[in-house]
C-alpha cells in the first residue's frame, strides 16, 4: 500500500490546482481520476467544447448577416462536421496542459479509476489498489441532472456529456431548461441551422440576473429560437420515424411537440453518491458536501472543492477554492473562502456579465443607501461604430461609491467588464475609474461612463458638494 501526504480525488479544475500547487512545495501527491485523462468536465464536455461550438456558430451567423447587409448571396447548408472538428481540435490543443503525462512529470502519481473511501484515510481505487492519505481533497465535479420525465429513458436524449460527440446537425432540437448551458447551446445550434425550441418551467429566462438586463438578452435570443415558458414536460415517447414527441403542460393547457433531438439542460448534480461519504460520516448539505469557510469537511483532514460543494459550479470558482486548499492542507493555514468577488459570464450573444448583487438584492439588504449608475450601449462610441448597440452596463454602489454589484449585457461583456472585478476585489470606488485613461474608442468606455455619471451626480445634482462647487465656479468667474 502506498502512502501520500495528500490524495486528490478528481482531475478537474479544482483538483488539478490542488495537485499542482501541493507537489510544487515538495508534498507527496496522488491524483485519482476516473477518466482516461484529467481535465474534468470543463475540458472534455463543458467550457472548452461549448465555447468552440459557440465561436463556430457565431462565425457562420456573422457571415450570413454580413452577406445580407452587403447584398451578397450565401447558398447551401453549413457543414456541421467542420464545427465538430473545431470542437475536437480545441480539446486536443488544451489537453496536454492537463494531461496525466504532464502531472507525472511534475511528480504527481496519477491513478486512473474510480476512488472510494474505505475509511477516513484510505481510498480504494475500483479494481486496483488502496492508497493512504494523510490529507484528502474531494474534487469529483458534477454531471447533468436528469429530470424524472415519463418515457425519457426510452428515447435517445442528449446532455452536455454527449452533445459534442454528434456528427450530424439535428434538423430540430428541443432543449429542456433555460439555464446558462441550455441558452448557450440553444443559440449555437440555432445559428448552425437547427430549429430550436427551449422549454422553461419559469416565466422568464435568467432569473438570477439583474432584471434590467434580461429584456436585452431575451429579445436577442427570441429572434433565433422559440421559447415555451411555464412548461412542464409530462411525457416523452419515440416516434416511428426516429423523432420524439413531448407532452407538455403550460398553465393547464396541454401541448405536443415533435422534434428530431432532445437536449437535457435542467441543472447539475454533484458526483458525491459513489464516494462512500456516508460510510465515513461526512456531513452533507443535500447532495452537496457541507464545508466550513476553510473548505474542510466535517472530518478536518478531508477537504472539498468545486461542484461537489455550494454555491457556484464554475471552473474559476473551483480554481480559487483549490488555491485556498493548497495553503490550508499543505501549510496548516486557516484561510477562508469568500465568494463576494466571484463573477460569472453567460456566453450567449449578447454576453451576460454578473458581479456581486443585483439592484433588487441591494435595495433589500442595503436600502436607501443604494446608488444606481447605468449606461446603454447606444451611448458608447465603439458599439455605435460596430453597429452592435443592444445592451446595458449597470453598476450598483453604496452612497460612498463602493461597488456592490456590476452587471452588463453586450457584445464581449465578459472581457471589458473585468476591470470591475479588480476594483471590487481591492476596494476601489467607482469614481476611481475616471482617473484611468482608456484608449478611444474601446468597449471598456461603457464602464468608464458609469464613473463619469457618478461625478456628474455628485458635483452637479445637488448636495453639499454640488452647492460648494457651483458657488466656487460663480466666484471664480
181 is annotated as contributing to ligand binding: yes
Q: Tell me which DSSP letter residue 271 carries.
A: S
326 is annotated as contributing to ligand binding: no
pTM of the model as a whole? 0.94
Contact criterion met (CB below 8 Å) for 451 and 393: no
Cell of 170: 439535428
Length of the chain measured in residues: 477
Residue 332 confidence (pLDDT): 95
Q: Is the pLDDT of residue 169 over 80?
A: yes
**C-alpha–C-alpha distance, residues 64 and 173, integer Å:** 21
251-291 pLDDT per residue, tens: 889 999 999 999 999 999 999 999 999 999 999 999 999 99
Residue 334 confidence (pLDDT): 97
Buried b (16+ CB within 10 A) or exposed e, 10-46: bbbbbbbbbbbbbbeeebbbbbbbbbebbbbbbbbbb
**C-alpha–C-alpha distance, residues 283 and 297, integer Å:** 7
298-351 pLDDT per residue, tens: 999 999 999 999 999 999 999 999 999 999 999 999 999 999 999 999 999 999
Whether the bond between 441 and the residue before it is cis, its omega within 30 degrees of 0, is yes
Ramachandran category for residue 346: left, alpha or beta (phi over 0 → left; psi -120 to 50 → alpha): beta
Q: Is the pLDDT of residue 382 over 90?
A: yes
Residue 411 confidence (pLDDT): 97
Q: Is the pLDDT of residue 460 over 80?
A: no
Residue 467 confidence (pLDDT): 59
191-216 pLDDT per residue, tens: 999 999 999 999 999 999 999 999 99
When mean pLDDT is compared across 223-227, 365-369, 394-398, 428-432, the lowest value belongs to 365-369
Residue 419: other Cβ atoms inside 10 A: 16
Strands of 95-193 (E only): list them.
109-112, 115-117, 122-125, 130-138, 142-144, 172-176
159 is annotated as contributing to ligand binding: no
Backbone angles phi, psi at 300, to 5 degrees: -55, -30
Which helix (H) or strand (E) covers residue 246, if one does? strand 244-250
Residue 384 confidence (pLDDT): 98
Q: How far is CA 268 from the centre of its chain?
A: 12
Q: Is the pLDDT of residue 476 over 80?
A: no
Classified as helix, coil or strand, 10 is coil
Residue 386 confidence (pLDDT): 96
Which helix (H) or strand (E) covers residue 262, if one does? strand 261-264
The model's confidence at residue 472, banded by pLDDT at 50, 70 and 90, is low
**CA–CA distances in Å: residue 168 to residues 78, 80, 387, 449:** 11, 6, 33, 45
178 is annotated as contributing to ligand binding: yes
473 is annotated as contributing to ligand binding: no
Q: In what order do the strands lie in the sheet with 344-346?
A: 344-346, 351-356, 403-410, 392-397, 371-376
**C-alpha–C-alpha distance, residues 149 and 159, integer Å:** 15
128 is annotated as contributing to ligand binding: no
Domains of the chain, earliest start first: 2-144+269-331 (3.50.50.60), 152-266 (3.50.50.60), 350-467 (3.30.390.30)
Contact criterion met (CB below 8 Å) for 49 and 40: no
Cell of 316: 474559476
Backbone angles phi, psi at 194, to 5 degrees: -80, 150
Among 81, 247, 256, 259, CA closest to 175: 259
When mean pLDDT is compared across 163-177, 182-196, 197-211, 454-468, the lowest value belongs to 454-468
184 is annotated as contributing to ligand binding: yes
51 is annotated as contributing to ligand binding: yes
**CA–CA distances in Å: residue 131 to residues 49, 272, 273:** 33, 19, 20
Residue 471 confidence (pLDDT): 62
412 is annotated as contributing to ligand binding: no
Residue 469 confidence (pLDDT): 56
200 is annotated as contributing to ligand binding: yes
Q: What is the average per-residue pLDDT within 102-125?
A: 97
Cell of 92: 486536443
Share of the chain above pLDDT 70, in %: 96
Q: Using CA atoms in the order 44, 311, 399, 476, what is the torsion angle rounded to 10 degrees?
A: -20
Among 131, 166, 155, 160, CA closest to 145: 160
140 is annotated as contributing to ligand binding: yes
Contact criterion met (CB below 8 Å) for 391 and 409: yes
141 is annotated as contributing to ligand binding: yes
Q: Using CA atoms in the order 367, 370, 376, 377, what is the torsion angle rounded to 10 degrees?
A: -120
180 is annotated as contributing to ligand binding: yes
Residue 455 confidence (pLDDT): 86
53-99 pLDDT per residue, tens: 999 999 999 999 999 999 999 888 899 999 999 999 999 999 999 99
300 is annotated as contributing to ligand binding: no
Residue 470 confidence (pLDDT): 62
**C-alpha–C-alpha distance, residues 411 and 432, integer Å:** 24
**C-alpha–C-alpha distance, residues 397 and 335, integer Å:** 28
Q: Is the pLDDT of residue 463 over 60?
A: no
Classified as helix, coil or strand, 183 is helix
Q: In what order do the strands lie in the sheet with 226-229?
A: 226-229, 195-200, 172-176, 261-264
367 is annotated as contributing to ligand binding: no
463 is annotated as contributing to ligand binding: no
Q: Is the pLDDT of residue 459 over 90?
A: no
> How does the average pLDDT of the chain come out, rounded?
95
Amino acid at each position: 500500500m502506498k502512502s501520500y501526504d495528500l490524495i486528490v480525488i478528481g482531475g478537474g479544475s479544482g483538483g488539478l490546482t490542488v495537485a499542482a500547487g501541493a507537489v510544487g512545495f515538495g508534498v507527496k501527491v496522488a491524483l485519482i481520476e476516473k477518466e482516461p485523462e484529467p481535465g474534468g468536465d470543463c475540458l472534455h464536455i463543458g467550457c472548452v467544447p461549448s465555447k468552440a461550438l459557440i465561436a463556430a456558430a457565431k462565425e457562420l451567423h456573422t457571415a450570413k448577416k454580413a452577406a445580407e447587409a452587403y447584398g451578397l448571396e450565401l447558398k447551401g447548408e453549413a457543414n456541421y462536421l467542420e464545427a465538430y472538428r473545431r470542437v475536437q481540435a480545441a480539446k486536443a490543443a488544451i489537453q496536454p496542459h492537463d494531461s496525466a503525462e504532464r502531472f507525472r512529470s511534475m511528480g504527481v502519481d496519477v491513478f486512473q479509476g474510480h476512488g472510494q473511501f474505505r475509511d477516513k484515510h484510505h481510498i480504494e481505487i475500483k479494481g486496483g489498489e488502496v492508497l493512504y492519505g494523510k490529507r484528502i481533497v474531494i474534487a469529483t465535479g458534477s454531471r447533468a441532472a436528469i429530470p424524472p420525465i415519463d418515457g425519457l429513458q426510452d428515447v435517445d436524449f442528449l446532455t452536455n456529456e454527449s452533445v459534442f460527440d454528434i456528427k450530424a446537425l439535428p434538423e430540430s432540437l428541443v432543449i429542456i431548461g433555460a439555464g446558462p448551458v441550455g441558452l448557450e447551446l440553444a443559440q449555437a445550434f440555432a445559428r448552425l441551422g437547427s430549429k430550436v425550441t427551449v422549454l422553461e418551467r419559469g416565466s422568464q429566462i435568467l432569473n438570477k440576473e439583474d432584471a434590467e438586463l434580461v429584456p436585452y438578452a431575451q429579445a436577442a435570443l427570441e429572434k433565433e429560437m422559440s421559447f415555451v415558458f411555464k412548461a412542464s414536460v409530462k411525457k416523452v415517447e419515440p416516434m416511428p420515424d426516429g423523432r420524439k414527441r413531448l407532452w407538455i403542460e403550460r398553465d393547464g393547457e396541454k401541448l405536443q411537440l415533435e422534434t428530431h433531438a432532445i437536449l437535457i439542460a435542467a441543472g447539475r448534480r454533484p458526483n458525491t453518491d459513489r464516494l462512500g461519504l456516508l460510510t465515513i460520516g461526512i456531513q452533507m448539505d443535500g447532495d452537496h458536501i457541507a464545508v466550513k469557510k476553510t473548505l474542510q469537511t466535517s472530518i478536518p483532514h478531508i477537504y472539498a472543492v468545486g461542484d461537489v460543494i455550494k454555491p457556484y459550479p464554475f471552473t474559476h470558482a473551483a480554481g480559487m477554492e483549490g488555491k485556498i486548499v493548497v495553503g490550508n492542507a499543505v501549510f496548516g493555514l486557516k484561510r477562508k473562502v469568500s465568494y463576494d468577488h466571484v463573477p460569472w459570464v453567460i456566453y450567449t450573444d449578447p454576453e451576460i456579465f454578473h458581479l456581486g448583487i443585483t439592484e433588487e438584492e441591494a435595495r433589500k439588504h442595503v436600502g436607501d443607501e443604494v446608488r444606481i449608475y447605468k449606461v446603454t450601449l447606444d451611448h458608447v462610441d465603439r458599439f455605435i461604430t460596430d453597429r452592435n448597440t443592444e445592451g446595458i452596463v449597470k453598476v450598483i454602489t453604496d452612497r460612498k461609491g463602493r461597488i456592490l454589484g456590476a452587471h452588463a449585457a453586450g457584445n464581449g461583456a465578459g472581457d471589458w467588464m473585468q476591470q470591475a472585478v479588480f476594483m471590487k476585489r481591492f476596494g476601489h470606488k467607482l469614481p476611481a475609474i475616471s482617473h484611468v485613461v482608456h484608449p478611444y474608442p474601446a468597449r471598456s468606455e461603457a464602464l468608464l461612463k458609469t464613473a463619469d455619471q457618478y461625478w456628474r451626480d455628485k458635483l452637479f445634482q445637488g448636495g453639499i458638494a454640488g452647492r460648494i462647487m457651483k458657488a466656487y465656479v460663480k466666484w471664480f468667474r
